C-alpha cells in the first residue's frame, strides 16, 4: 500500500468523528440509565468537560516508566483497532487501513490494550489494580473463546478473513445480514460483546464496591484522560466491529451512528437491571452458553 496523504487525512478525521461520537454516546447512555432511575441525568456535554478537566489538572505522579506506558498501550490498542476497521462500506476514503486478513489483527488488538494496562497498573503498586487486572485478563480470555469461534464460523461461511469482504457479502438488503444467515454465530458474538464492553453483569474489572476501581485506581489527571479518550474510541470501534460482522456494515455515517448506538445499547440494556457476577461465575458463564453457541456455529457451517 502506497503512502497516501488523503487517506491519512480521512483516517484522522474519522478518528475525530469516532471520538466525539463515543463521548456523545456515553453521555446518552448515562442519561438513559438515569431516566430508568427516575433521574434527570448528566448534561449531554459532560464527557467533554470531564476530559478537558482531567487534561487540565496540574499535578501528576508517575510510579515508573511502565505506569506511564500503560495508558499509551491502552490507547494504542484502541486506535489500532480503529485503524484497521472499515468504517463506511462503498467509500474508498472511510475504509481506513483495512486489508485482506485484517480480522486476525483486529482480534489481537482487542487484547493488546488490556495487556498493556496489566503492565502499567501493576507498577502502580495498588493491590486493587492487581486484583482488577487479573480479573480482567482471565475474563477476557474466556470472552475471546466464543468470539473467536463466531468469527471463525463467519470465515468458514464467507470463505474469507477480510472484514471488507464479509461486509460486502452482506450488502443488498437486510435479509443478507449475517444476523439472518448465521444466527447461531450472531448469538455467540453478541453474548461475548456483553463481556467485551464490560457493563454489568461483567463489569467486575472495575467493580467500585469491591476493588475501587480496579486497574485505573492509581491513574489520574492526564493518564486518566488518555484512558477516557480510549474508552470513547474503543466502545464505538468495538460496536463497529460487530456491526460489520453481523449487521451488514454501514454505507453512510448516519447508518453507522444508528447501528453502533443500538449495538452499544444492547449491553447497557442488559447492564441496568443485572447485578455483577463474581469472576468465577462470569468465567463459567462464558464457557457455558456462548461457548455452546460458538461450537454450534462452527459445526453448522463446517
Partner 1 sequence: MSETKNNNKFENPHYAKREVTGPDGKQFIVDPIKDYFSDERPKVYEPNSIPVVEKFLNWARAESLWVLGFGTGCGSIEIPPLMTPRFDAFRFGIQSRPTPRQSNVFIISGYLAVKTLKRVIRSYEQMPSPKYVLALGSCTINGGMYFDSYNTINRLDHYIPVDVYVAGCMPRPEALLAAFNRLKELIKEGKGEKANEYAANFDWYKENQKKIIKDWNMPDYNW
Partner 2 sequence: MSLLNIETDRSKYPVKGEDGKLQIDLDSHKYVKLWQGPNHPGVTGNMALELTLAGDEIVESKTHVGYLHRGFEKLIERRLFVQGLPTSIRMCVAEPDSNEYVYSTCVEQLSGIDIPEMAKWIRALLLEMARLQALLRVVPGQGGTFALGLGVQWGVYMRELILDRFEELTGGRVYHMFMTPGGVRGLLPGGFKKRMEENLKEIDQFVINIDNLMYSNSVFKKRAIDVAVLDPSWIDKYGAVGPVARSAGYNRDVRKDYPYLIYDQLDFEPKVMNHSDIYNRSRIRWYDIQTSVDLIRQIMAKMPEKGDIKAETPNVLHWRIPKGETYVRSEASRGEYGLYMVTDGSDKPRRINLRGPSYTQAVALLQDLLVGANIADVAAIMVSLQTCPPEIER
Binding site for partner 2 (CB under 8 A): 36-39, 127, 131, 200-201, 203-204, 207-212, 272-279, 281
- CA–CA separation, 61 vs 67, rounded Å? 10
Q: Which stretch binds partner 1 (CB under 8 A): 54-62, 192-200, 271-279, 284-292?
A: 54-62
Closer to partner 2 by CB, 165 or 210: give it: 210
Residues 6 or more apart in contact with residue 40 via CB below 8 angstroms: 34
Kindly state whether residue 42 participates in binding partner 1, applying the rule CB under 8 A.
yes
State which residue, 71 or 122, has the beta carbon closest to partner 2. Answer: 122
Are the beta carbons of 221 and 53 closer than 8 angstroms? no
Taking the C-alpha atoms of residue 9 and residue 221, their distance in angstroms, rounded to an integer, is 29
Q: Any contact of residue 302 with partner 1 (CB under 8 A)? A: no
Backbone angles phi, psi at 55, to 5 degrees: -70, -25
The distance of closest approach from Cβ of residue 162 to partner 2 in the complex, given in angstroms and rounded to an integer, is 38
Residue 14 Cβ, how far from partner 2 at the closest point, in Å? 34
- CA 259 – CA 253 distance, rounded (Å): 10
Q: What is the smallest separation between the CB atom of 139 and partner 2, expressed in angstroms?
A: 13
Least separation, in Å, of the C-beta of 214 and partner 1? 10
Considering only residues 8, 16, 52, 258, which one is a binding residue for partner 1 as defined by CB under 8 A?
Answer: 52
Q: Using the minimum distance from each CB to partner 1, give the nearer residue, 6 or 38.
A: 38
- Tell me how far apart the alpha carbons of residues 112 and 107 are, in angstroms, rounded to a whole number: 9
Q: Is 6 one of the binding residues for partner 1 (CB under 8 A)?
A: no
**Which of residues 60 and 141 has its CB atom nearest to partner 1 in the complex?**
60
Q: Which helix (H) or strand (E) holds 8?
A: helix 5-36
Q: Does 218 bind partner 1 (CB under 8 A)?
A: yes
Minimum gap (Å) between residue 233 Cβ and partner 1: 20
Residues 114-153 that bind partner 1 (CB under 8 A): 125
The 8-class DSSP code of residue 278 comes to: P
Would you state the cell numbers that stand for residue 29, as one nine-digit string? 447512555
Give the nearer residue to partner 2 in terms of CB position, either 78 or 214: 214
Which residue pairs from 44-47 have beta carbons closer than 8 angstroms and sit at least 24 positions apart in sequence?
Answer: 47/23, 47/228, 47/232
Q: Quick one: DSSP state of residue 210?
A: T
Q: Which is nearer to partner 1, 43 or 100 (CB)?
A: 43
The 3-state DSSP class for residue 217 equals: helix
Measured from the CB atom, is 210 or 255 closer to partner 1? 210
Cell of 9: 487525512
Size of the site for partner 1 (CB under 8 A): 30
Q: Could you tell me which of 152, 145, 111, 190 has the C-alpha nearest to residue 284? A: 145
| Cβ at position 61, least distance to partner 1 in Å | 5
- Across the chain, how many H-helices and E-strands are there? 12, 0
Nearer to partner 2, 133 or 236 (CB): 133
- Out of 12, 13, 16, 60, the only residue in the binding site for partner 1 (CB under 8 A) is 60
CB atoms within 10 A of CB 254: 9
Q: Which of 98, 268, 262, 236 is nearest to 179 (CA)?
A: 262
| Residues at the site binding partner 1, with contacts judged by CB under 8 A | 34, 37-43, 46, 49-50, 52-53, 56-61, 125, 208, 212-213, 216-221, 224
Amino acid at each position: 500500500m502506497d503512502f497516501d496523504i488523503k487517506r491519512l487525512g480521512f483516517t484522522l478525521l474519522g478518528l475525530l468523528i469516532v471520538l466525539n461520537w463515543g463521548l456523545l454516546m456515553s453521555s446518552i447512555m448515562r442519561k438513559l440509565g438515569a431516566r430508568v432511575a427516575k433521574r434527570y441525568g448528566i448534561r449531554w456535554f459532560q464527557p467533554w468537560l470531564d476530559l478537558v478537566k482531567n487534561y487540565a489538572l496540574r499535578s501528576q505522579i508517575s510510579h515508573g516508566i511502565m505506569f506511564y506506558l500503560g495508558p499509551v498501550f491502552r490507547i494504542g490498542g484502541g486506535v489500532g483497532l480503529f485503524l484497521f476497521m472499515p468504517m463506511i462500506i462503498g467509500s474508498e476514503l472511510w475504509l481506513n487501513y483495512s486489508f485482506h486478513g485484517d480480522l486476525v489483527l483486529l482480534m489481537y488488538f482487542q487484547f493488546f490494550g488490556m495487556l498493556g494496562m496489566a503492565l502499567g497498573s501493576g507498577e502502580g503498586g495498588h493491590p486493587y489494580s492487581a486484583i482488577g487486572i487479573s480479573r480482567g485478563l482471565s475474563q477476557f480470555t474466556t470472552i475471546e473463546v466464543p468470539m473467536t469461534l463466531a468469527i471463525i464460523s463467519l470465515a468458514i461461511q464467507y470463505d474469507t478473513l477480510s472484514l471488507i469482504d464479509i461486509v460486502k457479502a452482506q450488502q443488498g438488503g437486510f435479509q443478507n445480514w449475517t444476523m439472518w444467515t448465521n444466527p447461531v454465530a450472531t448469538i455467540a458474538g453478541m453474548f461475548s460483546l456483553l463481556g467485551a464492553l464490560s457493563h454489568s453483569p461483567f463489569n467486575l474489572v472495575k467493580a467500585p464496591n469491591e476493588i475501587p476501581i480496579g486497574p485505573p485506581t492509581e491513574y489520574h489527571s492526564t493518564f486518566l484522560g488518555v484512558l477516557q479518550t480510549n474508552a470513547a474510541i474503543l466502545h464505538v470501534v468495538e460496536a463497529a466491529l460487530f456491526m460489520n460482522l453481523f449487521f451488514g456494515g454501514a454505507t453512510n455515517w448516519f447508518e453507522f451512528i444508528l447501528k453502533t448506538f443500538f449495538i452499544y445499547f444492547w449491553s447497557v440494556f442488559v447492564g441496568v437491571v443485572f447485578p455483577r457476577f463474581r469472576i468465577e461465575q462470569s468465567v463459567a458463564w462464558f464457557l457455558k452458553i456462548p461457548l455452546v453457541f460458538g461450537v454450534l456455529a462452527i459445526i453448522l457451517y463446517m
